[in-house]
Amino acid sequence: MRRALTLAPLLAAVLALATSCGDDTPPPPEGFHLNLRFMSLDPTVLDRVEVIFEAQGTGEQFMAIEPMSYADGAITLEVDTNRLTMTIAGSNIAAFAEDQGDGSYVYDLEVFSDDEVPRTPAPSVRVIGVRGGEQIAEGFLFLPQWPLPLGQTSVVNVPCRMAVADRCIR
């Protein structure tokens, strides 16, 4: 009886320890999804894709930052005057672009901005697909709002340029 009374709190303490195990931090909120929809274009032919954010308001420009890289260097980020350029390596595009079954491929780029000042109009986004130094695809979009609405998705259609249609396939 005494041993049971002794073991009971011990067991309870062990259960408490087990309960405390695990991650107490909730997952981070979802960012803003910018879907790059490559149309009539084989994403494996791309050397790189440039995503250019451009502030629209007069006198607005992105805060200068040191060039950054993500995804083991597959994605780089740099600010040049009022343009923010994100460069995605072609291999990364080829790896993560998903075939939609309708001849298009969608690459999901998740970004966010912790800017507290809303900007109207919101910046625009221009997407350029490059192969061999040549722009073979291009898309354009005005972002729905700034700061970027978390959890929302906007699609940028990036069709192959008709003039270089043969360059968009292997």
Partner 1 sequence: MKRSHVTVAVALLALMAAAPALAQDAEAPPAAEAPAEEAAEAEAPPAEPPPAETPPAEPQAQVAPRPAPPADRRYARPRTPPPILVAVLPGERVAAEAVTAAREALVAQIGPMAGGRAVHGVGADQMVSALSACDGDTCVGSILAEAGAQAGVLLRLTRRGRQLAAALEIRDPVSGALRVEAPIEGELPTEPADLAEPLAGLSARIASAVPSAPAQPPSLLISTTVDGATVTVDGEDIGESPVAPIAIADGTHEVIVRLAGYRAYRTETRISPGQRARVDATLESMDGEAMGDGDNPFTSGDGGGDDDLLSQWWFWTAIGGGAAVLIAGIVIIAVVASDSGDGMPMPQQPMGIPLPAIQGGP
Applying CB under 8 A, which residues contact partner 1? 2-3, 5-10, 12-17, 19-20, 22, 24-26, 28-32, 53, 55, 57-65, 70, 75, 77, 79, 84, 86, 109-117, 119, 123, 146, 148, 150
* Cα 162–chain centre separation: 27
What gap in Å lies between CA 41 and CA 51, rounded to an integer? Answer: 17
Between 44 and 76, name the residue whose CB sits nearer to partner 1.
Answer: 76
Shortest separation between residue 38's beta carbon and partner 1, angstroms: 19
Shortest separation between residue 88's beta carbon and partner 1, angstroms: 10
Shortest separation between residue 51's beta carbon and partner 1, angstroms: 10
As beta bridge partners, residue 138 has: 128
What gap in Å lies between CA 41 and CA 166, rounded to an integer? Answer: 10
Token pair for 2: 């005494």
Between 58 and 132, name the residue whose CB sits nearer to partner 1.
Answer: 58
Between 45 and 92, name the residue whose CB sits nearer to partner 1.
Answer: 92
Between 28 and 133, name the residue whose CB sits nearer to partner 1.
Answer: 28
Residue pair 107/115 in contact by the 8 Å Cβ criterion: no
* Cα 117–chain centre separation: 21
* Cα 58–chain centre separation: 26
Sequence-distant (6+) residues with CB within 8 A of 155 are: 35, 37, 106, 141
Shortest separation between residue 95's beta carbon and partner 1, angstroms: 16
Strands 32-39 and 153-159: parallel
Between 40 and 154, name the residue whose CB sits nearer to partner 1.
Answer: 154
